[in-house]
Chains A and B, each alone.
Chain A
């Protein structure tokens, strides 16, 4: 963190809030107990701004801004929840469900899935867009882990943790649009990857059932993401 960062004051949901100018709206909100939904953001990883759920309203403009990459500015007025935002967030969640094959009842992440939890928290009850039912494979070639593309929401948390924290960069995204897929190495089976260190970090940060550990009971594979801020802090301390 930049030691010389100035302190700014601004309004969030009507509350006066003080923050460092190098903190994002999302970080400030979290510190102040205000909940902003997000699926791609994870503390400790670079922000990618892809799921668009964390968009908030800023008083001066009609444009919505993604709170994960927008910094607090002196005097700004932020609204983190409104009818308009709630409507968009529910539509976005519905689009996630229509995009791939999320069948919660038979998913390894049932009950501990961030996508599922958000639908409950934000009040999404049904999907009013047609489903695409794409044919997407499962890669179970790794001796310890499984990648089930049916559940993947392309948040790229796994890609970022593997590249930025583990330093392996085994995972990446291939092709574009709706055909985007998470791949290992140069689109080889994960089991034959020579770069994967089998550290399991990707599995630990996956918000859905797309990445899971073989042979573990559902209850045991709770998402462990606290290690990220810890690791980043410790590494920085050593430099």
Chain B
């Protein structure tokens, strides 16, 4: 598709849009679909047709609006009225009220506070465009970054913008994206690959899934721009098989993009070509680790190998490979559209842009949020999250999943960025954020994550393979009332060993939940060991019943 044809298509879309007096947006991402938003959409379709409004009122399936715990969500434009939860019985009332006042009983309480502190770059289209229609994405400015890059920028110009943007990898480690692209671009090989890491193995995380379900073309566009920048002609999207809706939408998006000449040969009428294939992962956490992911795409056992050599130099089938996370790629189109300097205006000095978080746990508003770096934890938990339910006390927030740690109340006013979180013993990770109140037991939390690491360890290296079950058993003993002070010493020894000798990131960071709870909540460990009680009333002996002496 030539840039002119893109413009024609945008005109046509806008003309169609201008005929609509009202648009009813219904969330069709997995969260709302699980509360039958598909039936809701059908009901709206029928009602609109029955009332003879089909000419002036559009019913549109869109992606995630973020307020997942109020689903199924409906938004009415113009007006930006958020309703949720909406039942099929409410449909006719909503359609009747389109020209009148909003229905107050259905208004989504969370949406106002939820959106006030947010800043959307990655999710700018989420809940707005129909993820299954490429025309909708294009009309919202999609693929202009790719066509502009191909028409007016050299690969090194593209990389210069990414470097200038200060974007860092959103998959966990926060490695500077521009630097990674530069390395891959500089390696002299005629065969290179671009890989999108959509494995998302962290328990409770659904940021990447949501982006793929809500705006799949954005990721494809980001990958194509990356391919142009590093001169790769082939790409893989590694998605876990547990994400069927994301996979279905991606497959359709790839087909549509190919049909419109935005993927495949002669992209945007130039000589540039880039093809993308989907690869399904069977759902092992370790397959998110980049060398494991490569091994899995190659058809081998998904186990990491020692790095260096890094994939940028020696990746898929031995060729230079650029691996980035879904959210990292999703940031690329706006960076190219608006320039690296524009992006760098948001965030802190070393952490630019925004971050998508999945906020869950003991907090009033759970769901998906996107906030600028530098926002404080307090703003996230108390303003956007709406505070702790039932008037209870905040205890800690767990970030970074099984590789992260628990951050206690004293750091609530700390700005959220890569360095700050690391300085208090946690990590930003991929964006899972679990809020805990005084009903959470920190020994139990540490045990939960150690159980995860233990069962997800690939078994290739000794310290992780046998160290994680050792730690899990010690934590189990403590939580059952059979722990001794010597157990704490053993735990500390094992944490140190794993942190220093494991082969890959899983084993290297598996001790973090234990280290951070020992650091900030040692008194809880002591209560379990010395007083044989669980202060939060979670563990076995809380009921006064001692399992082991």
Contacts and interface: CB of A to CB of B under 8 A. Distances in A.
Contacts of B455: 177
A180 B463 CA distance: 14
Contacts of A179: 459
A179 B456 CA distance: 11
Nearest to B486: A128
Interface in A38-96: 47-52, 55, 63-64, 66, 69, 88, 91-92, 95-96
Given A52-B463, A98-B470, A130-B473, A64 B500 contact: yes
B458 A177 contact: yes
Nearest to A181: B459
B468 A177 contact: yes
B540 interface: no
Contacts of A88: 497, 500-501
A91 B459 contact: no
Interface in B161-201: none
Contacts of A173: 301, 459
A49 B500 CA distance: 14
A176 B497 contact: no
Contact of B454 (A47, A69, A98, A177): A177
A177 B500 contact: no
A129 B470 contact: yes
A184 to B, nearest CB: 16
B462 A95 contact: yes
Nearest to B477: A130
Nearest to A64: B500
Interface residues on B, range: 20 to 34
B469 interface: yes
Contact of A178 (B305, B466, B493): B466
A151 B469 CA distance: 19
A176 B284 contact: yes
B9 interface: no
Contact of A177 (B306, B459, B463, B503): B459
A49 B461 contact: yes
Interface string B466-486: 111110010000000000000
A48 B461 CA distance: 9
Contacts of B502: 52
A5 B76 CA distance: 68
B457 A176 contact: yes
Contacts of A98: 466, 470
B456 A52 contact: no
B459 A180 contact: yes
B475 to A, nearest CB: 13
A142 B459 CA distance: 26
B465 A178 contact: yes
Nearest to A177: B457
A180 B457 CA distance: 10
A96 B455 CA distance: 18
A51 to B, nearest CB: 6
B501 A95 contact: no
Given A64-B500, A92-B501, A178 B461 contact: no
B477 to A, nearest CB: 9
Given A129-B490, A173-B459, A176-B458, A50 B503 contact: yes
B460 interface: yes
A89 B306 CA distance: 19
A99 B467 CA distance: 9
Contacts of B465: 99, 154, 177-178, 180
The 9 closest A-B pairs by CB, nearest first: A180-B459, A177-B457, A49-B306, A99-B466, A69-B306, A95-B466, A52-B501, A176-B459, A177-B459
25 contacts: A49-B306, A49-B461, A50-B460, A52-B502, A66-B503, A69-B306, A88-B500, A91-B493, A95-B462, A95-B463, A95-B466, A95-B470, A96-B462, A96-B466, A99-B466, A128-B490, A129-B490, A130-B473, A132-B466, A175-B459, A177-B454, A177-B469, A178-B465, A178-B466, A178-B469
